[in-house]
Amino acid sequence: MAAIVLVHGGWHGGWCWHLVSDRLKEGGHTVYAPTLTGLGERAHLLTPDIGLETHIADITGLIEHEDLNDVVLVGHSYGGFVISCAADRLPQRIQSLVYIDAFVPEAGTCTSDYADKVRLDELNAMADRHGDGWRVPPPDASFWVSDPELIEWVNARTTDHPKRCFSERINLQGRLNDIASRTYVQAEQHTNPQFLEFYTRFSKDPSWRTFQLPTQHDVMLTMPDETAEIIAGALG
């Protein structure tokens, strides 16, 4: 059956999609918003062994065990790595990919390859000081949103992220190219130049749908109506 699978980014959980998920379900769509292993309400499972491969298995396992087909696979931020690898392994089940202010990785890369050096040094220092060297405490939510009430709400829900996820390199087999429908959404008020670079590149490619939204990084929380509409538009 056709379905939408929403994959969150670093330090987040399935909770960040609730506004978008509600809107998509109201439109009659089947929606899954899983929490990746070791994060959110699954933080009690956090171990040093959890890496990107664990999270890829979370998503491929969901798709296979729920017997999903014609999937619109959506990834936010770090989730772009997860959906790219999951789609490369199950292209026959994926109808469309939607990247929400997310990484669109190339084979052999890891998240750290796309990070600003200063930012990467900060994350490594946080892991060393407060995460026993293997887990990265969440940044303050003001990095993702600007509304004070929303900052407080997000801060109460973010959890440590396994550091291994950011250094584990991906192995793409080229099957990702079998998926013709792709969408990129860039948050104009986010400071990561890498996401703007992705948007600029893909906006020149007629095979991509591209959008810019005047908001911060957690687009699904700040502009849920527009986000849901873009995702729904990838079905069909």
The CATH number of the domain holding residue 223 is: 3.40.50.1820
Strand partners, 6: 74
Please enumerate in sequence order all residues whose Cβ is within 8 A of that of 85, keeping only pairs 6 or more positions apart, or say none: 52, 56, 170, 172
186: nearest Cα among 202, 168, 204:
202
Tell me the average pLDDT across 203-208: 96
- Its pTM surpasses 0.95: yes
| pLDDT tens readout for residues 15-69 | 999 999 999 999 999 999 999 999 999 999 999 999 999 999 999 999 999 999 9
The answer to whether 113 touches 89, Cβ cutoff 8 Å, is no
User: Looking at the predicted structure, is the pLDDT value of residue 117 above 90?
Assistant: no
Cα gap 171→85, rounded to integer Å: 8
Local structure of 168: helix, strand or coil: coil
Q: What pLDDT does 38 receive?
A: 98
Q: What pLDDT does 80 receive?
A: 98
Domain hosting 161: range is: 3-233
Cα gap 219→223, rounded to integer Å: 5
How far CA 144 is from CA of 12, 26, 109, 124, 217, in Å, comes to: 11, 26, 24, 19, 5
Pairing of strands 135-136, 161-162: antiparallel
Active site residues: 77
**Mean of per-residue pLDDT scores for the chain:** 96
Please enumerate in sequence order all residues whose Cβ is within 8 A of that of 101, keeping only pairs 6 or more positions apart, or say none: 76, 77, 185, 186, 187, 190, 192, 195, 217, 219
| pLDDT tens readout for residues 171-186 | 899 898 899 999 999 9
Query: Is the model more confident about 191 or about 80?
Result: 80
How many distinct structural domains can be found in the chain?
1
Local structure of 140: helix, strand or coil: coil
Q: Tokens for 107, please give them.
A: 């084979």
User: Looking at the predicted structure, is the pLDDT value of residue 1 above 70?
Assistant: no
Q: Tokens for 76, please give them.
A: 């936010």
DSSP classification of residue 93: G
Q: What pLDDT does 187 receive?
A: 98
Tell me the average pLDDT across 159-176: 94
